[in-house]
Amino acid sequence: SQQGEEDPQALSIQEGENATMNCSYKTSINNLQWYRQNSGRGLVHLILIRSNEREKHSGRLRVTLDTSKKSSSLLITASRAADTASYFCATLGTGFQKLVFGTGTRLLVSP
């Protein structure tokens, strides 16, 4: 299976703290994306990083990619209660036209 794995499976922090989630994958990729899913809702695209990039920023989000280790991390700085959601990484493999989603990290940010 190409499916990625994320860790931790669940993360509980206080408002204002930083949250770091990690994603590992198995095959060569064109790009890696992070999506957010609020409980019982659809997914929302957060950020895309291409295989030739090592780091990207978007507001309070910072994504890194290490293709040699087949891993990525998502950092949310100064977290807010509204950041409570599940976060999924998704990879677009070379030669494929579909995204493969990881197992997700459930983030709980307490006020």
Partner 1 sequence: DAMVIQNPRYQVTQFGKPVTLSCSQTLNHNVMYWYQQKSSQAPKLLFHYYDKDFNNEADTPDNFQSRRPNTSFCFLDIRSPGLGDAAMYLCATSREVLAGGRGDTQYFGPGTRLTVL
Residues found near partner 1 in the complex (CB under 8 A): 3, 30-31, 33, 35, 40-45, 48, 50-51, 88, 92, 94, 96-104, 106
Q: Which residues have C-beta within 8 Å of that of residue 64, sequence separation ≥ 6?
A: 49, 54, 55, 72, 73, 75
User: Which residue, 33 or 79, is less far from partner 1 as judged by CB?
Assistant: 33
* Minimum CB distance to partner 1, residue 78 (Å): 25
- Shortest distance, CB of residue 81 to partner 1, whole angstroms? 21
In the complex, minimum distance from the CB of residue 58 to partner 1, in angstroms, rounded to a whole number: 13
